[in-house]
Amino acid sequence: MKRKSITIKLRKDILRDIDNTINGKNIADRSQAIEILLSKALHAHRVKKAIILAGGEGTRMRPFTYEMPKALIPIQGKPLIQHIIELLRRYEIRDILISTGYLGDKIKEYFGNGCNFGVDITYIEERKRMGTAGPLNLMKKHLNETFLMLNGDVLADIDLHDMIMSHRKYGGIATIALTPVRDPSRFGVAELKGDKILKFIEKPRSTKSKLINAGVYVLEPEVLKFIPKRHAMMEKDVFPKLAEEGRLYGYPFNGQWFDTGTHEAYEKAIKGWRGSKSL
């Protein structure tokens, strides 16, 4: 994207605050720092819509999930999915699609149309299991611009604005948030070349990379062309195709991240989650 030069005069204290944002990584100098700060203030890279996947049965979280969907399991006094909704609202993403399936009526009963939580919620019902990609085929009429998608069982303290800016810069179809873990052997590890994801290595015994899929994505509507008309998984059916075409990118971040898919992980989240502080 072409840039134009301007000359501005700033107070010393403001200039000092700007310099404090320079980290040598994604913010290399004053010019970049000012551009990012202005972009945030003006919502220049704003994404308006997000999808939350909440249709799974949560079999690994039984017996809790015999009576409630995993999305409503409490974390520090709030349903898990409410933490995700509050993260989106902090970034002024208020148009939310929730894909429901197992015990989905309980999610609808709790959140309603979203007005009590400062958002507008539309529910998409999975009448049969559709995986992590299949539900997008039910949402085509809603997806006509860049959107976010989040797994409904993760907690992430992530700067969504910065991730969206990175996605715009890459110009790909999909950007995946990547988080480092000590033991990547239970996950699919991203193999990167620069910012581009070449492939995911499933449950590696040894690898240089410790970056795994964090379950937060920025997607373009074009991704719908890559989703089969059946039960489909983003991780197995969509992302490998995008990687082959060189249109899949990674966004590493160091904020808190918890997977709540097992009892052990859930216990760690209850004890360790400090809430989203990215903005």
Catalytic positions: 203
Are 94 and 69 a contacting pair, CB within 8 Å? no
At CB < 8 A and 24+ separation, what contacts does 28-37 make?
34/8, 36/162, 36/165
Q: How far apart are CA 84 and CA 221, in angstroms?
A: 22
Nearest to 215 by CA among 181, 170, 263, 172: 181
Say how far apart CA 242 and CA 234 lie, in whole Å: 10
Query: Which residues are CB-neighbours of 121 under 8 A, at least 6 positions away?
Result: 96, 97, 98, 111, 112, 113, 114
Q: What is the CA radius of gyration of the chain?
A: 19
Q: What angle do CA 163, 169, 172 make, to 5 degrees?
A: 90
| Helix 80-90 / helix 104-111 crossing angle, nearest 10 deg | 50
